[in-house]
Amino acid sequence: MFFLLLGIVALALKYLEIGPVATLNWFIVLSPFAMAVAWWAWADASGYTKRKEIEKMAKRKDDRIDKQREAMGMLSAKKKRK
């Protein structure tokens, strides 16, 4: 996401001819988009994206279970301190 935002800002600065970005080559200005594509390709190929999705779902599940246990008065003392 960082590369995409950086690319959009650089593209806008280049198009509007603002600051030192106006003098840069288009190849340099558009390179953050290529890095974003490379990052997404790596994240999908390595399983990073799926792993993060599973961690997020597990966290939501644990939070839901803790909320239900707290409502029933069954939350452990360790969880109550947090």
**Is the Cβ–Cβ distance between 29 and 10 less than 8 Å?**
yes
Q: How confident is the model at residue 9 (pLDDT cuts 50, 70, 90)?
A: very high
Residue 73 confidence (pLDDT): 82
List the structure tokens of 24: 């840069």
List the structure tokens of 73: 């008065």
Residue 79 confidence (pLDDT): 61
Per-residue pLDDT of 23-82, as tens digits, reads 999 999 999 999 999 999 999 899 988 899 999 999 999 999 888 888 888 766 566 665
**Is the Cβ–Cβ distance between 36 and 7 less than 8 Å?**
yes
Q: What is the pTM of this model?
A: 0.63
